[in-house]
């Protein structure tokens, strides 16, 4: 009897140890599977985070239409492939943001084109694409079949270089043509005659502009001529050569300064230092102005008509933003990814 009890007890202990060992083995096996999945998951997650996911991230949404990060890179590669930009160039810093803004504006224009009775035909797109690829040519000197072969070859190489499809490129051209047509339509409403001022300007581009601003005003008030001050303190050679003369400026050309130019400044009085924006450097510039004459009606020069047309377009776009669902979630991480992709493209060229 005692032997039977011992035998049963031993069998139970052995069975218990086997169960514990089995549980331990299953635990080790599960841990091993988790470790393997984790090891595999690291590069997979990295692939998703760095390669698969970014191009699909939405950076522009206008109502139901979206543009992703990959499309933005294609546009920038198009400029890069055309020699308009260099991935290492210092002016690349703001360019992605400018392209995002232009894409957003062009989509607003495309969606509002029918309401403005603006149409872009396939023929217009064909002509514009050929103009961009071949440039201005004399059709009388080159046989039509030769021109067509040259166009097809150049266009194929161009699309391959910038990694964009024919339809994507035509869509870009279509957006540009819509914008041009709307600009001309709005330009028809720009008056050909407007009030003008005769303007002088002294921008202080130097690093110590803040320190010398008081000196500029003090010297002018004491009788120093504006031309002399320009010669002393201006850094731009063209500004110095013209003695700070801007010339006749119509109302609306410097819309932020209109109250100053047309109402507040007395003739031949120097303004308080005005902070203006220099688009080439992307920085603020302290500028002094003097108005020497005003007239109620004068013909608007062509260069100012273009500025006024652009301002009309910006006003139209501002109104459209108010009545449409426009979102631009472009952020710094996406910007860094774009720059990295452009640098890769530049290296491969």
Q: Which two tokens stand for residue 251?
A: 């109302």
Candidates 1.10.287, 1.10.4030, 2.60.40, 1.10.3470; CATH matching 60-188+309-348: 1.10.4030
* pLDDT at res. 1: 54
Residue 272 pLDDT > 60, yes or no? yes
CA neighbor of 328 nearest in space, from 121, 69, 150, 73: 69
d(CA 303, CA 67): 34
At residue 142, the pLDDT reads 75
For 194-298, CATH gives 3.10.50.40
Query: Which pLDDT value is given to residue 281?
Result: 55
Q: What rounded mean pLDDT belongs to the chain? A: 83
- pTM (two decimals): 0.72
pLDDT of residue 14: 54
pLDDT in tens, 274-332: 987 765 555 678 999 999 999 999 999 999 999 999 999 999 999 999 999 999 999 99
Percent of the chain having pLDDT more than 70? 77
Q: Is the pLDDT at 93 greater than 80, yes or no?
A: no
pLDDT reported for residue 48: 39
Banded model confidence at residue 10, pLDDT cuts 50, 70, 90: low
Say yes or no to pLDDT of 87 above 50: no
Q: Where are the domains of the chain?
A: 1-52, 60-188+309-348, 194-298
Say what the pLDDT of residue 143 is.
82
SS3 at position 331: coil
Asked if the domains at 60-188+309-348 and 194-298 fall in one CATH topology, the answer is no
The better pLDDT of the pair 275, 178 is held by 178
Q: What is the pLDDT of residues 152-168, one digit of tens each?
A: 999 999 998 888 899 99
Q: Which residues of 312-331 are buried (b: 16+ CB within 10 A; e: fewer)?
A: bbeebbeebeeeeebebebe
Lowest mean pLDDT among 58-72, 78-92, 134-148: 78-92
- Predicted confidence at residue 43, as pLDDT, reads 47
Please state the φ and ψ torsions of residue 121, each to the nearest 5 degrees.
-90, 160
- Residue 210 has a pLDDT of 78
Rounded CA-CA distance 200/293 in Å is 10
Quote the DSSP letter at residue 93. G
Residues in contact with 273: Cβ distance below 8 Å, sequence separation at least 6, in sequence order: 204, 213, 216, 217, 286, 287, 288
pLDDT of residue 6 exceeding 90: no
Percentage above 90 pLDDT, the chain = 60
3-state DSSP of 257-304 = HHHHHHHHCCCCCECCCEEEEECCCCEEEEEEEEEEEEEEEEECCHHH
Split at pLDDT 50, 70, 90, the class of 340 is confident
pLDDT of amino acid 78 = 84
Query: Is the model's pLDDT at 45 over the cut of 60?
Result: no
Residue 320's contacts (CB-CB under 8 Å, 6 or more residues apart) are 108, 112
């Amino acid at each position: 009897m005692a032997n039977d009890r011992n035998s049963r007890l031993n069998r139970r202990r052995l069975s218990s140890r086997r169960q514990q060992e089995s549980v331990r083995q299953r635990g080790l096996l599960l841990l091993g599977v988790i470790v393997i999945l984790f090891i595999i998951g690291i590069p997979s997650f990295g692939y998703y985070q760095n390669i698969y996911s970014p191009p699909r991230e939405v950076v522009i949404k206008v109502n139901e239409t979206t543009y992703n990060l990959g499309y933005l890179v294609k546009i920038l590669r198009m400029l890069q492939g055309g020699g308009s930009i260099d991935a290492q160039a210092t002016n690349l810093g703001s360019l992605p943001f400018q392209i995002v803004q232009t894409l957003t504006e062009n989509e607003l224009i495309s969606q509002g084109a029918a309401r403005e009775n603006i149409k872009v035909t396939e023929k217009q797109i064909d002509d514009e694409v050929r103009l961009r690829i071949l440039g201005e040519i004399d059709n009388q000197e080159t046989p039509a079949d030769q021109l067509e072969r040259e166009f097809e070859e150049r266009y194929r190489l161009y699309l391959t270089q910038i990694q964009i499809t024919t339809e994507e490129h035509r869509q870009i051209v279509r957006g540009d043509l819509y914008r041009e047509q709307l600009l001309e339509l709005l330009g028809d409403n720009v008056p050909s005659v407007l009030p003008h001022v005769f303007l002088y300007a002294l921008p202080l581009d130097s690093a110590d502009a803040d320190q010398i601003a008081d000196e500029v005003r003090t010297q002018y008030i004491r009788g120093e001529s504006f031309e002399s001050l320009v010669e002393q303190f201006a850094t731009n050679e063209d500004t110095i050569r013209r003695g700070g003369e801007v010339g006749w400026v119509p109302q609306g050309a410097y819309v932020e300064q209109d109250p100053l130019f047309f109402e507040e400044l007395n003739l031949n009085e120097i303004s308080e230092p005005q902070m203006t924006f220099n688009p080439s450097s992307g920085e603020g510039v302290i500028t002094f102005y003097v108005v020497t004459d005003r007239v109620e009606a004068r013909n608007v020069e062509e260069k100012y008509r273009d500025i006024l047309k652009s301002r009309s377009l910006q006003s139209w776009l501002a109104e459209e933003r108010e009545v449409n669902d426009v979102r631009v979630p472009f952020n710094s991480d996406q910007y860094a990814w774009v720059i990295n992709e452009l640098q890769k493209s530049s290296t491969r060229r």
